Structure 1
Amino acid sequence: MFPAALITVDYSAAQGPLLDCLSDLRDMGVTRVILIHVVQVGYALGASYGNKEALEDWLQGRAAPLHAAGMEVEIEIRAAGEVAKEILQAATDHRADLTVIGSRGQNMIRGLFLGSVAREVIRLSTQPVRLEWIESTGKDGDGACARTCHAGLRRVVLGTDFSQQSQASEKASMALARLGTHVDVMHVLAPDGGKIYARWPRMAQAALSYIVDDIIAAGGTAEAHILTGKPSEEIARLAADRDADLIVVGKHGQGWVASMAIGSTAANLCEIARRPVLMVPFIKTEE
């Protein structure tokens, strides 16, 4: 599904655990990994600035379990003023199919907030991005952190609004279904949606049934869910109730006027999900 993954790492405790769950990468079809660290030019507090040899040793150490798992691994260090853009340029240069990034919390005890680099990567990327959830493991904020691991990709939640922007995420979920993954397909109705158009709940249920049938045909199992409320909150709630290993959602592709923002549902979801989120962009092509 995603043969080559570019994984961004740095010296912080919040990024260190990013490689702790190898089964996730294997289940997503990853066989080649590029570990990259981008030194922000002019950022004096960067722990790796001017310390390339130590950083290379650290990256090689982080690559060891990936090598042991039979993956092809490359490491790279870059310097740039705009870190997010350099990460995406590296993904293009290495022909990566997936970019993986962790989100550092401003205060990991009170809750996780998308870091500026992660948010910019998600906003600008024209390729799928997997945002990892990093938890604090102690009282020292992000001084002691761990990645939230699940047992592979047993269960996935797919949030869809049936728009063009959801089609790519639906296809990604069908690809995961070929692994035997269970997919909970959900659509969230606005609280007053039925009043605006009384037939919409039944139409949504019918549309979900078609997606469920496609997932089953692909080799997985699936259930349809229609909930009412704020989409990001309802998606996160269902994912928690079902102990989902991954949430899959779509977003606008770069080049759209609307892509200047991630999209309120996707952005909010990344801040409250407490589990990995795969964001799959829809790219509009010229007709």
Structure 2
Amino acid sequence: MGPIIVATDLSPRSDRAMLRAARIAKEQDAPLHILHILDEELPAAILHGHAEDAKKTLQSRVDQTPEIADRNPRVDIEVGHLSRLLPGILSDRKPGLLVLGSHRDRGLAELIGQPSLSRIMAVSDVPILLAVGEPDRDYAKALAGWDFSAAGNAAVDLSRRIAPDASLTLVHAWDDFAAVAPYGGSMGVGASPATVARLEESMESAVADLHKTYPDATIDQHTQMGGAAHVILRLAADRSADLIVMGRHARSGIARFFLGHTATAVALRSPCDVLIAPSS
């Protein structure tokens, strides 16, 4: 795996992202890069002072945290906006994972916002981990949004690298408007028992196929009508999941809009970490 890049705003909650990134970097034997972005609209004189202060603060936190210091991380202070700077940084460093954290008590939206998160996902072909949970333990329960696609498979494969010992539940949900599905038949409100049964069979088949690749993994499935984001978030809360896994599709048009909306909605409201994998 390439370098693990973690973006931090220096808030205590963002420190969780650094700790999780350091943990993954150790497990994957990967370099750790820590990135802090300063607002480019600040006056030049103030910006220079803030950059020096941020560098000292960040280096001090690294030195005082053995789990991070042991990775001998590269620390960078950049000026600009996260969603505009990231494409160049990711292109140059070719990381294996980008880790983002939440901000204070108002969640990820306060750090980068929904439009910025959408832009980051649109310009990045790097897996993204949104770290909001406790970073001092291994992942134990993972949920994977499942739509029978290559992107879903890629997300599950990546999750097995990052969370090899976690149980995994494939989650498939459909909205009223989603009338076409790979398992055939209409999946509207009036879906027949036979149609639902075919879907269940398809999900069980997907579980069986994954067991061939990961014979020692604990894998099951959950199928439910409703908005995908709502179903995934509620199930994550009900089962005390500590990782949600989603694939990002290489599609265009309205399909990309809905898929991107689901990933963003889950990421910004999730009670646990969210791993978003590219389709390849």
Question: Per the shorter chain, which TM-score range?
Answer: 0.7 to 0.9
Task: Name the residue aligned to 2:169.
Answer: 184
CA separation of 1:98 and 1:200: change in aligned 2, threshold 3 A = farther
From 156, 159, 164, the counterpart of 2:142: 156
The answer on whether the counterparts of 2:8 and 2:18 sit within 8 Å (CA) in structure 1 is no
CA separation of 1:225 and 1:210: change in aligned 2, threshold 3 A = same
From 113, 126, 138, the counterpart of 2:109: 113
| C-alpha distance in structure 1 between counterparts of 2:101 and 2:279, whole Å | 22
Is 1:201 aligned to 2:201, yes or no?
no
Larger mean CA deviation between 111-120 and 241-250 belongs to: 111-120
Is 1:238 aligned to 2:258, yes or no?
no
SS in 1 for 2:248: strand
- The TM-score with structure 1 as length reference comes to 0.76
The answer on whether the counterparts of 2:10 and 2:58 sit within 8 Å (CA) in structure 1 is no
Q: Deviations over 1:122-154 (max 9, x none)?
A: 332111111122xxxxxxxxxxxxx54463111
Is 1:171 aligned to 2:157, yes or no?
yes
Report the identity percentage. 21
The answer on whether the counterparts of 1:123 and 1:262 sit within 8 Å (CA) in structure 2 is no
SS in 2 for 1:172: helix
| C-alpha distance in structure 1 between counterparts of 2:66 and 2:148, whole Å | 37
Task: Name the residue aligned to 1:42.
Answer: 41
| C-alpha distance in structure 2 between counterparts of 1:247 and 1:79, whole Å | 31
Is 1:103 aligned to 2:89, yes or no?
no
CA separation of 1:247 and 1:27: change in aligned 2, threshold 3 A = farther
| C-alpha distance in structure 1 between counterparts of 2:225 and 2:262, whole Å | 14
CA separation of 1:59 and 1:68: change in aligned 2, threshold 3 A = closer
CA separation of 1:123 and 1:28: change in aligned 2, threshold 3 A = farther
* More helix by percentage: 2
Gaps of 5+ in 2: 177-186
CA separation of 1:279 and 1:224: change in aligned 2, threshold 3 A = same
CA separation of 1:154 and 1:202: change in aligned 2, threshold 3 A = same
| C-alpha distance in structure 1 between counterparts of 2:159 and 2:67, whole Å | 28
Task: State the shift of 1:262 in Å.
Answer: 6.2
Task: Name the residue aligned to 1:143.
Answer: none
Task: Name the residue aligned to 1:277.
Answer: 274
- The TM-score with structure 2 as length reference comes to 0.78
CA separation of 1:150 and 1:233: change in aligned 2, threshold 3 A = farther
* More strand by percentage: 1
The answer on whether the counterparts of 2:101 and 2:108 sit within 8 Å (CA) in structure 1 is no
The answer on whether the counterparts of 1:246 and 1:275 sit within 8 Å (CA) in structure 2 is yes
Amino acid at match of 1:25: I
RMSD: 3.2
Task: Name the residue aligned to 1:76.
Answer: 76
Q: Deviations over 1:189-216 (max 9, x none)?
A: 3355363576542333233223323443
The answer on whether the counterparts of 1:66 and 1:73 sit within 8 Å (CA) in structure 2 is no
The answer on whether the counterparts of 2:21 and 2:32 sit within 8 Å (CA) in structure 1 is no
| C-alpha distance in structure 2 between counterparts of 1:230 and 1:55, whole Å | 41
CA separation of 1:118 and 1:62: change in aligned 2, threshold 3 A = farther
Aligned structure 1 segments of 4 or more residues deviating by more than 6 angstroms = none
Amino acid at match of 2:158: A
SS in 2 for 1:180: coil
Q: How many residues align?
A: 262
Q: Deviations over 1:7-66 (max 9, x none)?
A: 001234553443244685258626311001122322469x86533322222222233336
The answer on whether the counterparts of 2:39 and 2:79 sit within 8 Å (CA) in structure 1 is yes
CA separation of 1:275 and 1:230: change in aligned 2, threshold 3 A = same
